[in-house]
Structure 1
Amino acid sequence: MALRLVSDFDLRKDVLPWLRAQRVASAAAGARGGGPGVLENNYESLRILNVERNGNVIYTYKDNKGNVFFGLYDCQTRQNEHLYTFEKDLHVVSCSVNSDRTLLAASLVHSTKEGRKNELQPGSKCLTLLVEIHPVNNVKVLKAVDSYIWVQFLYPHVESHPLPENHLLLVSEEKYIEKFHIQVIQEDGSRVVIKDSGHLPRERVAEDFVWAQWDMSEQRLYYIDLKKSRSILKCLQFSADEKFNLMFEAPLDITLSDSGFKLVNFGCDDLQDQENLSKHLTLCVFTNHTGHGKTFTAALGSVDSHVTKGLTFLNLDYYLAVYLPGHFFHLLNIQHPDLICHSLFLTGNSEVVDMLPHSPLQSLSGSLVLDWCSGKLYRALLNQSYLLQFLWNTQLDCEKMAVLHCVLSCGGDRRFLEAKIIQWISENISACHSFDLIQEFIIASSYWSMCPETSNMDKLLPYSSVLTWNTEIPGITLVTEEIALPFMKVHSFKGYWEKLNSNLEYVKYSKPHLHYNNSMVRREWHSLISEEKTGRRRSMVYVKNILDNATKVISNLEARNLEPRLTPLFQEADNHQRLLMGLMVSELKDHLLRHLQGVEKKKIEQMALDYVSKLLDLVCQIMETSWRKHSLHPCVPHFSGRASAAEFKVFHIMTRILEATKSLFLPLPPGFHTLHTILGVHCLPLHNLLHYIDSGVLLLTETAVTRLMKDLDNTEKNEKLKFSIIVRLPPLIGQKICRLWDHPMSSNIISRNHVKRLLQNYKKKPPSSVIHKSSFSVEFLPLNYFVEILTDIESSNQALYAFEGHDNVDAKFVEEAALKHTMMLLGL
């Protein structure tokens, strides 16, 4: 299953054996109350009451006389402890123990003779008691009313020393919440008793509410307040002192006056009626910045499947799990809800959906999940092994996209996960039609490797290569409606509240899309390359800083990768790619500095380096996997012989990598283009090769062409290849390469370039009646006349010989080259 439930606590395994041992010990000591078989007859009464913030579990059971036993399971020591026993036949509504385990609060109602709870008819009582349990001493009545009461001790963030004062929330079915202040003192060394138990100060926290939810992990109380038919959502934050602060309030465009009374996460909720399932279940998710409401309607599948009432929601950090046993299981991406393809929708009565418990689960603090019915406490985790297997088996593009992000969000051994995903990509590289697998993997993996480390990075880095998704997802109907942003007062800006306020400001002022893109890098890179071609270059200090950024990226990358590489990358300078990666570091750093407030400049610089290094590392990983899979030698392939099937496949993978990075304008490791070109020359027929070069798929580098000229002999086929390559080179590189090829064609090209340079500013002189005879024996008047002009220009301007790469090229060389080329063309 996509969701893995790891048992942290089980009443049968962690409590029952201890209770039996206690009974056996009591029986052996001659204690009254029956032997060890008594508990077997009352097994059904054993149930969980509450899970406190520190993970400790409070449970209860009744003996054969109806006495109520309270116990605590310590999640750290994995030991059980007896807290208190009420020697009356009572039913427990709610229970909580303070962090020092010195006070027990409990709400109880009398049970009927049939053993069922009293349904609180007029005249019945609900007792809320406060008990000293270290040692068992005094019992104080806090409430004796005709309605249910729920109790919860506060667990603020404090040091390990005991608190002098405890705070207890009382939630009444009469729609009010009170807070009791309970001071304790220590007597006779270890006795802890209530100070002035006759007078416990209390204050009203909330009233006239219809719904409340307790956030145990952050000690927050959310409730909906009814004011003149208006529903206002409020949040209170409780701190270590006796104060509580109103953090925010937001009016809701709904009325809840007739919706009844509902509590969430105040212990076991078996006293509240479960609502009947509607015919069509819907879940409304409000996005964090688009200002839209998204309503997903899921198909319920076959009607004859076993269904237990209750739709379950589980908080899984970046995802919200929503499932109805036997019908559907959804993982909704709450980090980026704007694209439906980032959420995983599994529908139908299948083994995938049906593996979770067929009973409602309650999401507690962190990743804890409680199954009240079975008495089990789970830690909910995304099942990476299942998700990876699902990635291999699914045929739908939307599920491939969703699972890819889901796997990467899990964290853990990222290198291992990336290796598994790359293996899948290499086998399914052409299987997706809605998005580019390599593109999405590079962007998503870079995003998930950076965002968990720094707050607000999720808004600043691109998380997907896909901007829109219009493909239908089977079994899911999506309706998007524009909603008005509610007015919300936020009263604090620390931690969670700072993040919340940032999201609100983002929506309020309709900020532009903040995710980084390479548009600025693209423009600047093209500008620098254009300047290089024309021989003009802006400040050398500017260019040096950019290249220094690239050096830092490569050093950063090499420091992370200690194993020797199979692929022959990073073995040449490749200034164009270095310019690109250096520019990206510079632009990304500026982008983060603009939008990340309160983060040191040095740390931001490192973030930019890490991000660009990660992009390059992912390309290297794909290359390494491909190289290893096809057992290629850790050297550049040779031109001799026919290309192997493995080389064809690696060339195809490199071409797909190039396509993916080119549209996003991402840098490639230095040496990538050289290796790609050499494989292309080895694998492709000449006409295909030239088509790849002309369309920009293959980029001719000086290193690749130099090796081509040196390694290939001058057979007719190779001559044609070399000439076709040379004429496609940029002029500056072409002049260098021609000098490496000892061939009339090369001499011809060199001569043409030399003549072009000489005649650029040539002004025709009056014709001379005398033409000096050439030193050559060949009588060819047009050539003799042309050579005479070149000789005259050379003799009149010796400075022309100073240009780079002259290599003794002069009129004589031009004449010899012309004659050799003519003879070659004539076949003489």
Structure 2
Amino acid sequence: MALRLVADFDLQKDVLPGLLAQRAVLAVAGARGGGVGILENYDSLRVQNIERNGNIIYTYKDDKGNVFFGLYDRQTRQNEHLYTFETDFQVVSCSVNSERTLLAVSLVQATKEGRRNEHQPESKCLTLLVEIHPINNVKVLKAVDSCIWAQFLYPHVESHPLSENRLLLISEEKYIEQFHIQVTQEDGDKVVIKNSGHLPRDRVAEDFVWAQWDMLEQRLYYIDLKNSRTILKCIQFNADENFTLMFEASLDISLKDSGFKLVNFGCDYLQDQEKFSKHLSLCVFTNKTGSLCVCYSPKFDSGKQITYSVFYFHKGHSKTFTAALGSADSHVTKGITFLNLDCYVAVYLPGHFFHLLNIQHPDLICHSLFLTGKNEMIDMLPHSPLQSLSGSMVLDWNSGKLYRALLNQSYLLQLLWNTPLDCERMAVLHCVLSCGRDSRFLEAQIIQWISENISACHSFDLIQEFIIASSYWSICPETSNVDKLLPYSSVITWNTEIPGITLVTEEIALPLMKVHSFKGYWEKLNYNLEYVKYAKPHLHYNNSVIRKEWNNLISEEKTGKRRSTAYVRNILDNAMKVIFNLEARSLEPRLTPLFQEEDNHQRLLVGLMVSELKDHLLRHLQGVEKKKIEQMVLDYISKLLDLICCILEASWRKHNLHPWVLHFDRRGSAAEFAVFHLMTRILEATNSLFLPLPPGFHTLHMVLGVHCLPLHNLLHYIDNGVLLLTETAVTRLVKDLDNTERNEKLKFSIIARLPPLIGQKISRLWDHPMSSNIISRNHVKQLLQNYKKQPRDSMTDKSSFSVEFLPLNYFIDILTDIESSNQALYAFEGHDNVDAKFVGEAALKHTTMLLGL
């Protein structure tokens, strides 16, 4: 399954063996005339609550109906007995303070069936506060006809004793109170309640219909119905004994007939499970990035589809999904379940569908993974109701198992290989990269898949999406708010339908923050809300902004004119820092012959990207040190280049290529053609995003092109900009190839396409009439570019060159005249030892060669 549940606690394994051992001891003692409290009914063993520090409270009954309270410490893996009620009660709720000195319990009288009789008003609920260190007094906090839920606050993680404990009591009468309990030590370590006669209390909330407790963050979410509007509110409990109303948010849902419901206030085994499965589902999820999501599914009525909504308050919109349930005989026996997985929310209906919703980037549906009931792996999840807790923890109340919910990397990778749908490939790619565990291994697996499926996707470019997404995830977890400044995906729009699901997106009103000083999560949430209000259009970096400047620098290089050398040197220094950073992070020597030449064009592009991206982050990333931003930029661009290298290296290794591929005096193989094709796809992907390539990429691409392509195809690739002629590649071509007829034609065709300055330099390395011809052409072009014909009185032989070919003589005379009149016109770089005589001799040699004389 895409979701993996790793058991962190199992009531049957972590608690029951100890109780059975205790039973054996007590049985022996009973045979000797004593012993009580023997566990007889294993079904009575239940998890009741999980506290902020991870400790788990459980209860069980012995053969006499006595109720035992125990605690499992997840840190020490030890069990501890807390208290025993020698009366047959049904536990509604319980909680223990962080020092394990006070136990709050809500109990109702048990019926013969072991359940509260809701139709008997005399069945009172007792809420008791018990001193348990040592066992001492019991104080009655409430004795009412309605149910009460109890929950101690844990304002501090530290273990030092607190002078005051705070206890929340949540009443079925729709109010919440906070009790202040002063404790003191007597007789050494005896802890007693100091103000047991009168416990001060605060009214926290009232007239609410739904409430959810976030134990880890100590937050209370509740909904009240105000003027026929559904208003979600949040109260933050602080360490300074205060509580603060943080925000109000309007929800476009109706809860008038939904009844009273609590989420995460322990387990209420008094609920009718069948009724619970048909009840509406509503929960609030947050994560460390400052997201705020409300997941909602109305009461389910039998039909062929089910609807659920997610309110992305941190994005300013909601999405309502309608999922088909399959065939007409589909039967829904359980309710829909929402699970918090940090960057994702899992929505599933056992046997029907499983939906992983991307919380950080919910705009495009293709970034969320939807699997239908046809997928056999869906049934691997428990069919019993699961409760999502903080920190990606999930509790199965029925079995008493606590799970840590994780994305299943191995299954997702398998799905990546097997699914035929582009939407699922896109979603799985991002799910895998967001896992964040063993990123090198995951990237290697994805690269292997890309190399085998390079042309499989029609809706997006695989290489582009992998490079952009993986570079993003390598930086995003380190600094908050970077997700708004760096591109997450190469896909801007998605119009293809997702089979089995439809979607409606609507704008929603942003939460109204009730405070003005923010820290931690609240600061990030407020930043997200401010971004939604004012940051339009989006601030994602786009590398195309440097296209014009890069083109200008290349043009200046071709013409031999350059602006300030300090400016260019700074750009090249930026590129050098990236390359040093990249090489320092490389774990193994590279197989491919990259980074072995200067390749100033790519270095200029890398350096410009460093400069532009750094300025972009400095403008919009407030409160982050400049040095940290500079390092972030180096890491991001280094990662981008490294991913390109890794894709190429994987193909190089797969086809078992060797460094001698760089020599031209050999024919191309099928393996080389495969690598050449991959490099062409990489070039296509990076060109459209205007991303830099590793220095040496174009040289290697050109060499493989010469090996694998017929001459006319090769020249077509060159003329259309697919293959770029680098000085290193052409120099090696001239030196490696002999002067056979085929090679002469190849050399001439290549050199003729070089920029003038580089062409003159390369031509001088080739001792051949073709080379002389090229040099001559360039020389003549330079001389005649500003030539104006002057009237002549007579033809005079101004040169020592004379043949019986009057047009050539006339042309040489013109060149000689220009040379003698202005030496500066031909005294440019690469033209030493070139004059009119050289041009005439080269022309004759070339003519005789063409005529075969």
Task: Report the TM-score range of the alignment, normalised by the length of the smaller protein.
Answer: over 0.9
CA contact (8 A) 1:566 1:635 kept: no
Residues 469/763 of structure 1: CA separation in 2 closer, same or farther (3 Å cut): closer
Q: Give per-residue Cα distances to partners, 1:708-750, cap 9 Å, x unaligned.
A: 1111111111111112112221222111111122221221121
CA distance in 1, matches of 2:33, 2:486: 67
CA contact (8 A) 1:126 1:148 kept: yes
Specify the alignment match of 2:276 in structure 1: 274
Specify the alignment match of 1:81 in structure 2: 80
CA distance in 1, matches of 2:852, 2:831: 30
CA contact (8 A) 1:24 1:35 kept: no
Residues 16/379 of structure 1: CA separation in 2 closer, same or farther (3 Å cut): same
Specify the alignment match of 1:497 in structure 2: 522
2:624 is the alignment partner of 1:604: no
Q: Give per-residue Cα distances to partners, 1:21-74, cap 9 Å, x unaligned.
A: 1122223334899989953x4111111000111111100011111110000000
CA distance in 2, matches of 1:802, 1:725: 25
Specify the alignment match of 2:249 in structure 1: 250
CA contact (8 A) 1:47 1:375 kept: yes
Summarize the alignment of residues 423-442 of structure 1 with structure 2, pairs less than 5 Å apart.
423-442=448-467
Specify the alignment match of 2:552 in structure 1: 527
CA contact (8 A) 2:320 2:503 kept: yes
The alignment-based identity, stated in percent, is 84
The letter of the residue matching 2:12 is: R
Residue in structure 1 matching 2:774, options 738, 744, 749: 749
Summarize the alignment of residues 2-401 of structure 1 with structure 2, pairs less than 5 Å apart.
2-30=2-30, 39=39, 41-119=40-118, 121-272=120-271, 273-276=275-278, 277-278=300-301, 279=303, 280-287=305-312, 291-302=316-327, 307-401=332-426
SS in 1 for 2:635: helix
Specify the alignment match of 2:292 in structure 1: none
CA contact (8 A) 1:58 1:96 kept: yes
Residue in structure 1 matching 2:613, options 588, 607, 610: 588
Residues 655/193 of structure 1: CA separation in 2 closer, same or farther (3 Å cut): same
CA distance in 2, matches of 1:287, 1:545: 44
CA contact (8 A) 1:568 1:635 kept: no
Specify the alignment match of 2:755 in structure 1: 730
Specify the alignment match of 2:736 in structure 1: 711
Q: Give per-residue Cα distances to partners, 1:582-641, cap 9 Å, x unaligned.
A: 111111111111111100111111111111111000001001111111000134433233
Per mean C-alpha deviation after superposition, the further-off stretch among 613-622 and 523-532 is 523-532
Specify the alignment match of 2:477 in structure 1: 452
The letter of the residue matching 2:236 is: Q
Per mean C-alpha deviation after superposition, the further-off stretch among 704-713 and 81-90 is 704-713
CA contact (8 A) 2:48 2:57 kept: yes
Specify the alignment match of 2:797 in structure 1: 772
Specify the alignment match of 2:652 in structure 1: 627
Summarize the alignment of residues 638-657 of structure 1 with structure 2, pairs less than 5 Å apart.
638-657=663-682
2:738 is the alignment partner of 1:693: no
| Superposed displacement of residue 210, structure 1 | 0.8
CA distance in 2, matches of 1:17, 1:562: 48
The letter of the residue matching 1:92 is: V
CA distance in 2, matches of 1:443, 1:157: 41
SS in 2 for 1:650: helix
CA distance in 1, matches of 2:509, 2:37: 63
The letter of the residue matching 1:396 is: L
Specify the alignment match of 1:516 in structure 2: 541
SS in 2 for 1:281: strand
| Superposed displacement of residue 256, structure 1 | 2.9
CA contact (8 A) 1:568 1:636 kept: no
Per mean C-alpha deviation after superposition, the further-off stretch among 811-820 and 253-262 is 253-262
CA distance in 2, matches of 1:662, 1:259: 56
CA contact (8 A) 2:248 2:511 kept: no
| Superposed displacement of residue 477, structure 1 | 1.4
CA distance in 1, matches of 2:32, 2:454: 73
Specify the alignment match of 1:415 in structure 2: 440
| Superposed displacement of residue 793, structure 1 | 2.8
- Structure 1 unmatched ranges of 5 or more: none
Moved over 6 A (4+): 31-37
CA distance in 1, matches of 2:850, 2:139: 114
SS in 1 for 2:154: coil
TM-score, normalised relative to structure 2: 0.94
SS in 1 for 2:391: coil
CA distance in 2, matches of 1:261, 1:646: 68
Residues 636/538 of structure 1: CA separation in 2 closer, same or farther (3 Å cut): same
| Superposed displacement of residue 762, structure 1 | 3.5
CA contact (8 A) 1:247 1:492 kept: no
CA distance in 2, matches of 1:307, 1:417: 36
Residues 526/287 of structure 1: CA separation in 2 closer, same or farther (3 Å cut): farther
CA distance in 2, matches of 1:611, 1:92: 55
SS in 2 for 1:345: strand
SS in 1 for 2:15: helix
Structure 1 vs Structure 2 CA RMSD? 1.9
CA distance in 1, matches of 2:33, 2:518: 57
SS in 2 for 1:166: strand
CA distance in 2, matches of 1:292, 1:251: 12
Per mean C-alpha deviation after superposition, the further-off stretch among 752-761 and 818-827 is 752-761
Specify the alignment match of 1:552 in structure 2: 577
CA distance in 1, matches of 2:46, 2:736: 80
| Superposed displacement of residue 250, structure 1 | 2.2
- Structure 2 unmatched ranges of 5 or more: 279-299
Specify the alignment match of 1:575 in structure 2: 600
CA distance in 2, matches of 1:300, 1:660: 39
Specify the alignment match of 2:284 in structure 1: none
| Superposed displacement of residue 523, structure 1 | 2.0
Number of matched pairs: 827
CA contact (8 A) 1:157 1:239 kept: no
CA distance in 2, matches of 1:721, 1:234: 75
CA distance in 2, matches of 1:491, 1:822: 86
| Superposed displacement of residue 801, structure 1 | 5.2
Residues 229/800 of structure 1: CA separation in 2 closer, same or farther (3 Å cut): closer
CA distance in 1, matches of 2:776, 2:326: 78
Residues 699/773 of structure 1: CA separation in 2 closer, same or farther (3 Å cut): closer
| Superposed displacement of residue 275, structure 1 | 4.8
CA contact (8 A) 1:748 1:821 kept: yes
The letter of the residue matching 1:528 is: L
Q: Give per-residue Cα distances to partners, 1:504-536, cap 9 Å, x unaligned.
A: 112223522111111211122112222323333
Residue in structure 2 matching 1:662, options 687, 693, 701: 687
